Amino acid sequence: MIGLFDSGHGGLTVFRALLARFPDVRFVYLGDHANAPYGNRPSQEVIELTEAGVGRLFGLGCRLVVLACNTATAVACRSLQQQWLPGANWPGHNILGIVAPTVEVATQTPWAVQSPQYPQKYNSETIAVFATRRTIASDVYREEIRKRCPHVTVVQQACPRLAGAIEQGAPDTDLVPMVGEYVATLLEQCDGATPDRAILGCTHFPLIEHLFRSHLPSSTRVLAQPEAVAHSLEDYLTRHPHFAEPRDEAHTPILLTTGKLDRIVATLAPFWTGDVRFERVEG
């Protein structure tokens, strides 16, 4: 069984892509809605909350957990992989993040390649990154892109109000000026250059990709993070098939939350259509 962990609803955009790509694999989703959002929290809190969520999913029988949250990945993934997991008495378990697949797509370079490779080393594109304040502060996208493509210009813009507004079900009329402000601020940093690619580095943002597209130059390519994660996981499971436990015929995806069920139901519609039911667990 494979677990997905996020601070709230945003990871459901990744969850849907994985369910579509792997219809025969068992999945369980845990949203830490009681502590959302993570984007404005101190790094140590993000690490501790992510450890708790991953530990819960391991305890439920997941041997592989995907951090379906850019903030959790940027701030906590490396710490969990290198420090927490080896000493946490979970042999045969692993944790993956969603920054790596996104960087692979942005640079067209495998994650394992840590230095410039032809022809990427001659790449002089401009890549825009829109994300939460904490993800931008971690500088993970700039660092990882520049390792592989040092001639690329990475321009970043924190969008501190956007994920919360999306999760609260704000209408496009409220979101349009926010997106317009963030895109305009980023374009000012580009000194007249047009971004060749844009990373929507928050799993909430695919829901309003159309708003970003309407404000970005028409030539800017917006990268689809959920599809990138699904493609990367497919490659990973090909190499590590023991993590892809087949689902029973009657098995349906399990969705868990640390938050209040009435609030979850009230704000779920943009993230999930059809019959779905969250179960509450103690946060």
For 123-157, write each residue's pLDDT tens digit.
678 999 999 999 999 999 999 999 888 889 999 99
For 35-61, write each residue's pLDDT tens digit.
988 988 899 999 999 999 999 999 999
The first and second tokens of residue 58, run together, are 């391991």
CATH class of 2-98+227-280: alpha beta
> Which sequence positions are flagged as catalytic?
69, 202
Q: What is the CA radius of gyration of the chain?
A: 18
Sign of CA dihedral 278, 256, 272, 267: positive
Checking if the pLDDT of 158 tops 50, the result is yes
The pLDDT value given to residue 122: 46
The model carries a pTM of 0.91
Would you say the CATH fold of 100-224 matches that of 2-98+227-280? yes
Checking if the pLDDT of 121 tops 60, the result is no
100-224: CATH architecture: 3-Layer(aba) Sandwich (3.40)
The pLDDT value given to residue 141: 97
Checking if the pLDDT of 224 tops 90, the result is no
Could you state, in order of their start, the residue ranges of all structural domains in the chain? 2-98+227-280, 100-224
For 17-37, write each residue's pLDDT tens digit.
999 999 989 999 999 999 988
